[in-house]
Structure 1
Amino acid sequence: MASHPLLKPLLIVLLLVGGVMGHTLRAQSTLLQNAPARRVLSLNGSWNYIIDPYENGFYDYRREAFDQSKSGKGGYYDNAKPSSTQEPELIEYDFDKSAALQVPGDWNSQDPKLLYYEGTIWYKKSFHLAPKAGQRYFLYFGAINYEAHIYLNGKKLGMHKGGFTPIQYDITDQLSPSGDNFVVVKADNTRRPNEVPTINTDWWNYGGITRDVFIAETPATYISDYKVQLAKNDANTLAGYVQLSGPNRANQAVTLTIEEAGIKQTLKTDGEGRVAFRLPAKKLMRWSPQNPKLYAVRLSSGPDAVQDRIGFRTIQTRGADVLLNGQSIFMRGISIHDENPLIPGRARGEGDLRMLLTWAKELGCNYVRLAHYPHNEIMLKLADEMGLLVWAEVPVYWTIAWENPDTYQNAEAQLTDLISMGKNRASVVVWSVGNETPLGEPRLKFMSSLAQKARALDDTRLISAALELHRTPDNVIHVDDPLGEYLDLTSINEYAGWYWGGSPSEITKYTFDIKYNKPVTISEFGGDALAGYHGDANTRWSEEYQEALYVNQLKMLSTIKNLRGMTPWILADFRATRRQHPVYQNGFNRKGLISSTGTKKKAFFVLQEYYRQMAQKYDRK
């Protein structure tokens, strides 16, 4: 097996699996962090698929699940073949004679008849892997949207909910001794009201196995988790932990090495295989957008070793200021979807993701909002490398089933996964618990609980959410959402000049009344423009209208004394089923500063110039 070049470096995180029939989620015991740093076998490539809108491969004619029957047989996951007898049994499917989809990749963009498809599709991949004695093997999926039932050699491994978080299973005991194996996945992207996200969203519901798939190999006792970062608000102390798993995890030596910084420390695990540490870190150069310094970090214990590239910085707030390494910054940002506008479908790998972040850098950004769900882990690694601060978010979007306990547990689990996979990334400075959620007591309880959970999991980063606002007839924009009490940033979405407020020239009449003395970041503003469509500043959908909107938004927002950043909506046009105007939208949200053909619209240069001025004001060498 060889490392796949596009997999480096992803992180494996705490996963959720649930009962086969029900929707109650339970935590899977986890296991492996930074799996691509291991010896891996890639399962990317062609997977045979079967479209199954009636779920014939999962239920019998009485609507009872085959994998819950006494025999556990009968579903498509058996990958059954006719016997060689004179009267072969009836089998009404055949993966090997079915068409193929490329993985990673959504199904919507690969087959015209699947463009709007929501439902079940079965995937099958055969592979050869003969397990070696004394080794463990983990099957990893970067993401499957949305509900996934996963089987190996006809046996169920589990079920996972969440279209943007990784899935991992220890398959050591399920691999065939002969080395001939097959994995089958039931992927279902059906939208449901109690899920996260819920039925109503404003992005394309891409289905399928959308991120990398591989099998990672470790020794029997292995490094399963670790955190190596600066302590909270302490630039001189390196703090974290290492967790061993396996039969010999107790009282084992673990060595942490950062050779370039002269750090080499040997630690000893406790009876559960865990060791926490605090070490002097005065010699570590601080990571920043101007100098995105990464160190080679090595963790080793017995036969196991893991390599990572990690940056070190502090992030905190003080009054109106956001302090990076103790210095006040202005977060010059842009929002981004996990989608390459030039090629239909989800972003497929490092090339697509690097292109998006390169555009952001060209715009003058030091910050990106990865909306509205966990993005590919490769994106976080690239942000580390390229010097971009990151706002990372879970898909608690618009109106969730606030009073459903299972919905909350699902949201909390996705948040836990997100924090787990980003905890060693210097670029990640904000955990966001949601977007544009309406006021109300059930929502406040739900969202504040998520904020408290995020803070308990990681007290070294900022907590926020994209809040809504309300206006009064005297042209005052009020920001007084009670959720703001639980957040480090006051972040708001406002669409003056597009959804309300009159024409672009009229929006400078608005003033802001913001309840909290905290840094303010504008998490969204913008308006649609069809690239190449021109008119005057009052011609809706024209580049000139969007340009004027940006000019006047920046004038209006400059009156906010606590303004410390923004992530306008959005870097590039993206596909959205809700956007149906046959001339100007045609299935795209056109608020991008870059078009679906890669053309920069006029507003791009307005924001670029503004960011140039803000960089001169705030940036320090």
Structure 2
Amino acid sequence: MGKSLSIFFVIAFTAQLALASDLIQNVSSRNQISLNGQWNVIVDPYDVGDKRKFQAYQGPVSKTKLSEFDFDSAMKLQVPGDWNTQAEELFFYEGSVWYQKFLSLDIDKSKRYILHFDAVNYLSHVFVNGKEAGVHEGGFTPFEFDVTGFLQQGKNSVVVKVNNRREPDYIPTMSTDWWNYGGITRPVRLLELEKTYVKDYALTWKDGEIDVSVEVEGPDKADASVKLSIPELKINKTFRAGNDGKVNAALSAEPSLWTPESPYLYNVKISLNDTDIEDKVGFRTISVDGNDILLNGKPVFLRGIAIHEEKPGGDGRAWSVEDARVLLGWAKELGTNYVRLAHYPHNENMLRVADELGLLVWAEIPVYWDIQFENDLVLNKAIRQFSEMLDRDKNRASVILWSIANETPNTPVRTRFLTKLADSVRSTDPTRLITAAINTQSVTGEGRKIDEDFANVVDVIGINTYCGWYEDDTPEECAEFTWESKFDKPIIVSEFGAGALQGNHGSDSEFFTEEYQSRVFRNNLTMLENMDNLRGVSPWLLKDFRSPRRPLSGVQDYWNRKGLMSEQGIKKDVWYLMKKWYAEKAN
């Protein structure tokens, strides 16, 4: 049970975690109409839809009028869902697809209506009744538009033009090692809010105080009366917002702190007038001290696994709470206390279930490989993607690491880019640690040395190494490696591993056999035991996943085979090897 102490209100207190103003917090707790389900779609590889005004569709036209499109008779796809796995002819498709759906509304003129998308990959143009509500770029973060002035009584048409074509100035850019799933891949909802409403809030704990920030939006935001209730801590407090609609307060309290062993979550209610927002929030601290990662002031070793956001039983973009429970349940079964959610922000269910299960989280934006580091507009896109991830996940205790890059080249222009990005992340959220996965270690006579200057920028150094797989060294030579670091910082080996086709048995010298995969893992684990600053590992990865870079017929078939499990969730031999190692680490 939670413990409580006296409560006090500090009118001038500035909370540690700054509020961002672009997204509504905790949309699942708001009054809403779901737009999930069947949508009409038209595939548009030549982008003729804009000229033909697909966006203005209101239903079939008379046969006496020329029209070369009709959503009602067009292909149907399910939302949420990617188009690649719903239609065989779209498996490799990259380009524009137009989505259309009718909804009937009884408009309440006293309400505000917000059209919210959990994610669409990648570029989205949103239209309501033929008028453009807004544009969003980025495939893994939420966005929303106020459509109050676009809606009408009765029948309404929502049209979304989605394009997943890869471009040089996108994040991620032209080349990735995962499938470019296109479509409206996460839920869509129409929020029905009061004209004045609680838009955002953040709660963090440190040194005996819960820092509370609330933002009220609307015409009556000044001097709005906001109530906060956390019953188990005996907190029931009313605050008055300032002229800007913001509340910043500190409440003295000693909660039971969230840990992987005891992931305690408190029921939180924030109320404005007659509208309540409910959440479950855990309180914890995260910091570093020399080579150690400190959770609630105590050293922690991160026993982890990397995960791509694919459905547990095969391919296709995962999105549901059921998907999250299976994927993270497998991680718990392996003996982990930490997951690396690669290489982009995963759906919100993954973070909320991680909160419940007690899994620490490395969350990441897709600054992946060689993007346009010299382009300031691309830097702004990276900052925007991080901001959207933070907006959504700021109240999740499980998230302890913000990762700002994966396997980027060691160049001055890249280091300047990532330094600016790290500065932006720290200024926005100083309550979590910054990391990035680096694969540019120096070769020494005894092994490897972590010496690139970018490691100075992060709080925790992430290392990707594929000794015995991509590198020329034999697995046994890997076991003899000595790792050096010129930095007094904790290290997480964020990736290591080897590929195997589940059920493919043979010599431990043959690539893609389970025996060779196990040989690589055994020797890499010996290597890891010799890393003095090692404070966590997340082998690559939980289950096999789709990748267009892996065409080897009969073995890969466009699957990356480095999973500890097959795409169907069948455990490979290496699963049991890692489970045993983690059990020993936990004792």
TM-score bin, normalised by smaller chain: over 0.9
Partner of 1:280: 252
Matched, 1:338 2:309: yes
Distance 1:581 1:249 in 2: 60
- Letter aligned with residue 252 of structure 1: A
Partner of 1:91: 67
Distance 1:492 1:271 in 2: 47
Matched, 1:147 2:146: no
- Letter aligned with residue 104 of structure 2: H
Deviation at residue 492 of structure 1 after TM alignment: 0.7
Aligned length: 568
Deviation at residue 597 of structure 1 after TM alignment: 2.2
CA-to-partner distance for each residue in 1:528-553, whole Å, 9 max, x for gaps?
01111112322211111111111111
Give the direction of change, closer, same or farther, for the CA distance of 1:31–1:418 in structure 2 (3 Å limit).
closer
Contact 2:102 2:155 in 1 (8 A): yes
Partner of 1:202: 177
Q: Secondary structure at the residue paired with 2:437?
A: strand
Partner of 1:22: none
- Letter aligned with residue 261 of structure 1: L
Deviation at residue 83 of structure 1 after TM alignment: 5.3
- Letter aligned with residue 378 of structure 1: N
Matched, 1:212 2:190: no
| Structure 1 residue corresponding to 2:234, chosen from 249, 262, 284 | 262
| Structure 1 residue corresponding to 2:49, chosen from 49, 57, 60 | 57
- Letter aligned with residue 505 of structure 1: E
Distance 1:272 1:30 in 2: 15
Distance 1:597 1:421 in 2: 30
Matched, 1:186 2:161: yes
Distance 1:588 1:183 in 2: 35
CA-to-partner distance for each residue in 1:122-164, whole Å, 9 max, x for gaps?
0001111222131111111111100000000110011100000
Matches within 5 A, 1:445-594: 445-472=416-443, 474-594=445-565
Contact 1:503 1:538 in 2 (8 A): no
- Letter aligned with residue 421 of structure 1: R
Distance 2:321 2:279 in 1: 17
Q: Secondary structure at the residue paired with 1:145?
A: coil
Partner of 1:251: 223
Distance 1:185 1:82 in 2: 18
Contact 2:60 2:70 in 1 (8 A): no
Distance 1:348 1:406 in 2: 30
Contact 1:131 1:172 in 2 (8 A): no
| Structure 1 residue corresponding to 2:201, chosen from 219, 222, 226 | 226
Q: Secondary structure at the residue paired with 2:331?
A: helix
Contact 2:351 2:399 in 1 (8 A): yes
Deviation at residue 88 of structure 1 after TM alignment: 3.7
- Letter aligned with residue 101 of structure 1: L
Partner of 1:109: 85
Deviation at residue 82 of structure 1 after TM alignment: 5.9
Distance 1:186 1:308 in 2: 33
| Structure 2 residue corresponding to 1:390, chosen from 361, 368, 379 | 361
Matches within 5 A, 1:161-176: 161-176=137-152
Partner of 1:6: none
Bigger mean CA offset, 566-575 vs 28-37: 28-37
Bigger mean CA offset, 290-299 vs 343-352: 343-352
Give the direction of change, closer, same or farther, for the CA distance of 1:507–1:81 in structure 2 (3 Å limit).
same
Deviation at residue 303 of structure 1 after TM alignment: 2.9
Q: Secondary structure at the residue paired with 2:72?
A: helix
- Letter aligned with residue 242 of structure 2: D
Distance 2:427 2:60 in 1: 54
Partner of 1:157: 133
Contact 2:82 2:316 in 1 (8 A): yes
Contact 1:50 1:122 in 2 (8 A): yes
Distance 1:82 1:431 in 2: 48
The normalised TM-score by structure 2 is 0.95
- Letter aligned with residue 314 of structure 2: I
**CA-based RMSD:** 1.4
Bigger mean CA offset, 356-365 vs 30-39: 30-39
Contact 2:435 2:460 in 1 (8 A): yes
Distance 1:31 1:346 in 2: 23
CA-to-partner distance for each residue in 1:107-129, whole Å, 9 max, x for gaps?
00010100000000000011112
Q: Secondary structure at the residue paired with 1:216?
A: strand
Deviation at residue 469 of structure 1 after TM alignment: 2.6
- Letter aligned with residue 241 of structure 1: S
Give the direction of change, closer, same or farther, for the CA distance of 1:576–1:31 in structure 2 (3 Å limit).
closer
| Structure 2 residue corresponding to 1:427, chosen from 381, 398, 404 | 398
Bigger mean CA offset, 300-309 vs 90-99: 300-309
Give the direction of change, closer, same or farther, for the CA distance of 1:564–1:31 in structure 2 (3 Å limit).
closer
**Runs of 5+ in structure 1 lacking a partner?**
1-27, 61-73, 617-621
CA-to-partner distance for each residue in 1:357-388, whole Å, 9 max, x for gaps?
00000000000000000100111000001110
CA-to-partner distance for each residue in 1:558-610, whole Å, 9 max, x for gaps?
11111110111000000000001112211000000001222111111111111
| Structure 2 residue corresponding to 1:444, chosen from 401, 407, 415 | 415
Matched, 1:307 2:285: no
Deviation at residue 475 of structure 1 after TM alignment: 3.8
Contact 2:410 2:440 in 1 (8 A): no
Distance 2:505 2:35 in 1: 47
Partner of 1:240: 212
Distance 1:356 1:395 in 2: 21
- Letter aligned with residue 497 of structure 1: G
Give the direction of change, closer, same or farther, for the CA distance of 1:554–1:82 in structure 2 (3 Å limit).
closer
Distance 1:480 1:341 in 2: 38
Partner of 2:33: 41
Distance 1:550 1:424 in 2: 36
